[in-house]
Structure 1
Amino acid sequence: MMMWAWWDARNKANASEGLPEIEGVLRRATLMAIDAKMLKEKTNCKPGKKRVKWTPPEPDILKVNIDGAFLESEKSGAWGYIVRTSDGEAVLAGSGRLTSVYDVLCAEMYACLHALSACSEQGMMKIQIESDCSNLVSAMTKSNFDLSPAGALFQDARLFISLNFVSVEFKYCHRSANECAHELARYGLSRDPDQDCVWSDPLPVFVTNLVTHNQVGYRVNE
């Protein structure tokens, strides 16, 4: 993977696209290796046939898309989230690594907890949380997962919400409508465990590029 990243970078330089930064090449090589590993561990997953666009929230609500990444072979993972307004403007985002996580539902829950904490610190009192994990949405709206390995996390999150927010709604969304959060979780896999990232205005260029790509032709609420 490293050789491929260097080869690609050299070809772009020869094509007069400029020399890339060393950090960028290393990050790309790391993400390529992670992608290959995650693809190998998802051999039982079938690709979705439909593509759903991201939908903005109501004007007085902020939409928070979250996602967790999980590597079964290492019992490790990562999290990512992004917060957008009804105009589609990204105002907050985060990403980080999980060195030890029990399963994919726990990884999704850590993404939720990090997002809730960041939103609370920013004074965001009315939010809508979207996840492409239906079990997470069910766990946060009911008590049927309270005895699972992540049960204590669900209970703590519900208590945190009751103390710090005016309204929080959980919704399931299709994977294609959650691409920004997915990419941020994937980015988290390349981070050191003690280097969590939380970005507010202005957001890094690579995050704004993700938003632009994800929202081209996004569906507006009717």
Structure 2
Amino acid sequence: MKLNIDGSFQPDTGKGGLGVVLRNRLGEVIFAACGYIQRCTGALEAELMACREGLLMALQWTLLPIIIETDCQEMLNLLQSKELVRSELMFLVKEVHDLMMGNRVVSLAKVHRNQNRISHVLANKGRVEELTHFWPDNSCNAIAQLVCVDALIE
């Protein structure tokens, strides 16, 4: 299963959003979600929150191995670091680590932003519309349209 995650941050308001899409090996959407973050310190915090929330949902929806795909190299560096990292966001890093260390195979992968388009749109939707929503399957027409566009590009 592939879990695409993305965070969105607006510096002047401190508001954020998160976007999450879980797909099976055929690229079919299992679920999609967006979330509103009322206050966060920056883009990295929004990315980590998207990772945590997305992984929490994915672990409840599948028993299969999960590949978390993100376009945020800074978050990947924090999550993959073998050294003690001092950061005000370590509580989020620890929460994601704890989720990854369960009885499931969970791995991380860096993708280019254009490969993370749907979660990016969802993260912005959550932030701009102050919306938290969950769509099972392809039940959101906008997401279904983006999936079709993604399939044409690949």
Q: TM-score, normalized by length of structure 2?
A: 0.92
5+ residue gaps in structure 2?
none
Pick from 117, 124, 128 the counterpart of residue 179 of structure 1. 117
The separation in 2 between residues aligned to 1:212 and 1:84, in whole angstroms, is 13
- Is 1:85 the counterpart of 2:16 in the alignment? no
The two structures, once aligned, show a CA RMSD in angstroms of 1.6
- Residues 92 and 124 of structure 1, relative CA distance in 2, 3 Å threshold: farther
Deviations along 1:80-128, one digit per CA (max 9) or x if unpaired, are 0111122111111110111110111000001101101111121344100
Asked if the contact 1:102/1:149 (under 8 Å) is kept, the reply is: no
Bigger radius of gyration: 1
**Structure with the greater relative contact order (CA < 8 A, sep ≥ 6): 1 or 2?**
2
- CA pair 145-181 structure 1, distance change in 2 beyond 3 A: farther
- Listed as ranges, the matches of 1:14-29 within 5 Å are none
2:71 pairs with 1:132: yes
Please state how far the C-alpha of 1:144 moved relative to its aligned partner: 5.1
- Counterpart check, 1:189 vs 2:142: no
Q: Which has the higher strand share?
A: 2
Q: CA deviation at 1:215?
A: 2.0
CA deviations on 1:29-86 (whole Å, 9 max, x unpaired) are xxxxxxxxxxxxxxxxxxxxxxxxxxxxxxxxx0111110011111111000111122
Q: Does 1:211 align with 2:141?
A: no
| Match for residue 137 of structure 2 among 188, 201, 214 | 201
For residue 211 of structure 1, give the secondary structure of its aligned residue in structure 2. helix
Separation of aligned partners in 2, 1:79 and 1:144: 27
TM-score normalized by the length of structure 1: 0.65
Q: Is the 8 A contact 2:34 2:134 kept in 1?
A: yes
Aligned length: 154
Moved segments of 4+, more than 3 Å = 143-146
- Segments of 5+ residues of structure 1 without an aligned counterpart are 1-61
Whole-Å separation in 2 of the counterparts to 1:155 and 1:97: 22
Task: Summarize the Cα distance change of 1:125–1:107 in structure 2 as closer, same or farther, 3 Å threshold.
Answer: same
Alpha carbons 1:128, 1:171 under 8 Å: kept: yes
Amino acid at match of 1:215: A
